[in-house]
Amino acid sequence: MPHAPSRAGAAGASDTRTPAQFPDGAREPPGAAAGTALVTGASSGIGAAVARRLSAEGWRLVLNGRDAGRLAETAAHAPAAVFPEDLTRPAAERRLTRFTLDEVGHLDLLVACAGVGWAGDFTTMTRRAFDEVMEVNLLTTLRLVRQVLPHMVEAGSGRVVLVGSLAGAVGVRGEAAYSASKAAVAVFADALRYELRGTGVGVSLVVPGVVDTPFFERRGTPYARTRPRPVAPERVADAVLRAVVRGRDEVYVPGWLRLPVRVRGAAPGLYRRLAAAFG
């Protein structure tokens, strides 16, 4: 049964908030104002960090996640309306959208952070695990965007931020299904951005590498590579805010991860040889 939505704290913008500080030293442009945001996957990890970052900047929040207890913990640090429900349930995206609009009246920002991982040989992956990866990482995101988008288009403003993965840009050994799900999210972001041109609604893709969250613990396989080194989820949250404030189409975290993507695009044969040798 779905959990009952609830209110945790009161969110509101502060007139005395300081400009956003980013790792590169830049500041939020003058006049950039907070608004209302829906964050999925907010129970922990990247989603929880995004919620805290937006809350600190005065955004009014609605948070969604599957774990009601952890979602309440996030809301304790980032006052918000909370809607603890598994978005893979039938029509959950409709209930979440309706709840959000009832709570905040309109929606300026959707940050889709929900995701699950799986590692191992694709031939050993169970049907259940495969379906969960595709459902959570791809289908629930598209369904929710499909519900939210008409309201943004009608208002003539808004932004959708999708959290992808480097695995979706270059492919990762032992993560074929996960890579495929995130690659689909990336292409969806591009296609949707073209479609929405002129509507006032923007689409951003944030592409993190390895992030220090419970993600690997929950998938049952620890992160064993020496490179790239994990980054804190707060860096991804900074990138999300940067994408929103600056209207960026795509942000890599850390920024140097754009390099292997460019190498793959410019010299795919060379990239594949290097990837086969070094993983």
Active site residues: 178
CA-nearest of 279, 271, 168 to 225 is 279
Between CA 10 and CA 231 the distance in angstroms is: 30
DSSP secondary structure of the chain: -PPPPEEES-----TTPPPPB-TTS-BPPTT----EEEEESTTSHHHHHHHHHHHHTT-EEEEEES-HHHHHHHHHHS-EEEEE--TTSTTHHHHHHHHHHHHHSS-SEEEE-------S-GGG--HHHHHHHHIIIIIHHHHHHHHHHHHHHHHT-EEEEEE--THHHH--TT-HHHHHHHHHHHHHHHHHHHHTTTTTEEEEEEEE-SB-STHHHHHT-----SSSPPB-HHHHHHHHHHHHHHT-SEEEESGGGHHHHHHHHH-HHHHHHHHHHH-
55, two tokens: 């809350």
Q: Rounded to 5 degrees, what angle do the CA atoms 182, 36, 48 make?
A: 50
Q: Rounded to 5 degrees, what angle do the CA atoms 140, 146, 151 make?
A: 135
